[in-house]
Structure 1
Amino acid sequence: MNVVIIDDDQLVALSLQTILEACDDIQVSATGGSGADAIRLYEEYQPDVLLMDIRMENINGLEASETIMASHPDARILLLTTFSDDEYIIKALSIGAKGYILKQNFESIAPAVKAVYNGQTVFGDEIVGKLPDLIGHMDTTSSDVQPSPFAGMEYELSSKEMNIIRLVADGLNNKEIASSLYLSEGTVRNYISSILDKLQLRDRTQLACFYYKKLTN
């Protein structure tokens, strides 16, 4: 797995590199210290996962993520911060970041990178508990937040599909969902792909948002 690390604190970037390269299946191709570096290094290395700090001067991690995803909508970007800031979380959700975790939880960083690489969406425990309340604010008129993708959506879901959506929102991966519902992982993948198509959603993050916004009210 090819990873690029972006953090404006060089010691933090080196620490993250050390943590990740302790894993046999992770190679850190490059490190950078700014949002501009992130954009440039993503184009140069096309990493499997971009691990990036949010709070940086000039171009921050969220702004760099938007720029990268405009050209690479399938980019796997895992955002790091020392702050569980509601506004940042909402923005990360709206632009389609694959994860948002607190960098002080060092033991969770490598597993989170691997989970994002495998197509999962990752939020730290401190953030998961906030999601139901935060999703309710995603229709804000603030110019910094995109309109909710669920406005005006019509849907018809089977009980099986509803169960799978709930488990995705609970943070379970495909293997865990398969075990819970006595299905194969392939069947779960097919269900999720079909659900995303039916609801015209982009990824598991939007599916979790859909659950909290539309199915728990």
Structure 2
Amino acid sequence: MINTIVVDDQKIVRDGLKMILSLDDQINILGEAGNGKELMEIVPEMMPDVILMDIRMPIMDGVETTKAIKEKYPDIKIIILTTFNEDEFIFKGLKNGANGYILKDSDSDILINAIKTAYKGNILLNPEVTKKIVNVLNNNLNQNKDLENDEKLKLLTTRELDVAKLVADGKSNKSICEELFLTEGTVKNYVTKILDKLELDNRTELAIYINQIK
């Protein structure tokens, strides 16, 4: 059972999301919150597997909340609900450790699959929105971006590059183990070394980094 909390400042939206998620017998709705502050108050006692959270909320928005949750509870998966005109917010949310994002008007099956994908440890990158995020990244990089990226990638061993590409494809550590015939501990060590060499903070940043230079 995937224990989930729904966070949105509009009750009608929370009710709709809960109704959709309740259609799947593998998802259990633990509770709901109207903003990040409320969420922070209930997480310690509920300890969800996945949080489905709107990015724009009063008092404490999804970006700030993602950072706070990930600092205290790094194993909790966070999926950001967004719209097309929130590029910078999405980028900041991913920088803070969000496990993925989906559009607010996504079909019910996409929403349910998003919960299950994040729960398994995979990264959820919506192709259409990813293009917009890559544009934000590109705008923040200097003119020597390609040279710098090439130099950084040269720091990776062949095996580390293999692991990085699989992470960029959204694969979980378990999936990477099976594909490369490695132990899960070895894969974790590889990922840690890769993040350190590329000066990145988390798997989501790594996925975006690799995807933008493919």
When normalised by structure 1's length, the TM-score is 0.77
Match of 1:127 among 101, 126, 129: 129
* 8 Å CA contact retained: 2:7, 2:34: yes
The one-letter code sitting in structure 1 at the alignment partner of 2:131 is: G
After superposition, residues 138-177 of structure 1 pair within 5 angstroms as: 156-172=155-171
Question: Which letter maps to 2:106?
Answer: N
Pick closer, same or farther for the CA change 1:173–1:73 going to 2, 3 Å.
closer
| Counterpart for residue 23 of structure 1 | 24
Superposed CA RMSD in Å reads 3.0
The residue type paired with residue 29 of structure 1 is: L
Matches within 5 A, 1:56-205: 56-106=57-107, 107-137=109-139, 156-172=155-171, 183-184=180-181, 187=182, 189=184, 192-199=187-194, 200=196, 203-205=202-204
Segments of structure 2 that go 5 or more residues without pairing to the other structure are 143-148
SS, match of residue 52 in structure 2? strand
Shift in Å, 1:155: 6.3
- Paired amino acid for 1:55: R
SS of the aligned residue for 2:5 comes to: strand
Secondary structure class of the residue paired with 2:26:
coil
Match for 1:209: what amino acid?
I
The structure that is helix-richer by fraction is 2
> Separation in 2 of the partners of 1:183 and 1:71?
32
Q: CA deviation at 1:28?
A: 0.2
Instruction: State the shift of 1:118 in Å.
Output: 0.7
Gapped regions of structure 1 (runs ≥ 5): 141-149
Q: 1:137-160 CA deviation, whole Å, 9 max, x = no partner? A: 4569xxxxxxxxx9x978632334
Q: 1:57 to 1:3 in 2, by over 3 A?
A: same
Assess if the C-alpha contact under 8 Å between 1:4 and 1:50 holds in 2: yes
Residues 164 and 191 of structure 2 are in contact (CA less than 8 Å); yes or no, is this contact kept in structure 1? no
> 2:183 & 2:20 partners in 1: Cα distance?
32
Letter in 1 for 2:204: T
Counterpart of 1:47 in structure 2 is: 48
Distance in 2 between the 1:68 and 1:139 partners? 28
The aligned length equals 201
The TM-score with structure 2 as length reference comes to 0.78
How many angstroms apart in 1 are the aligned matches of 2:3 and 2:140?
A: 33
Distance in 2 separating the partners of 1:56 and 1:66: 15
**SS of aligned partner of 1:132:** helix
Inter-partner Cα distance in structure 2 for 1:84 and 1:9: 19
**Paired residue for 1:12?**
13
Which residue in the other structure is 2:145 paired with?
none
- What is the distance in 2 between the residues matched to 1:53 and 1:30? 15
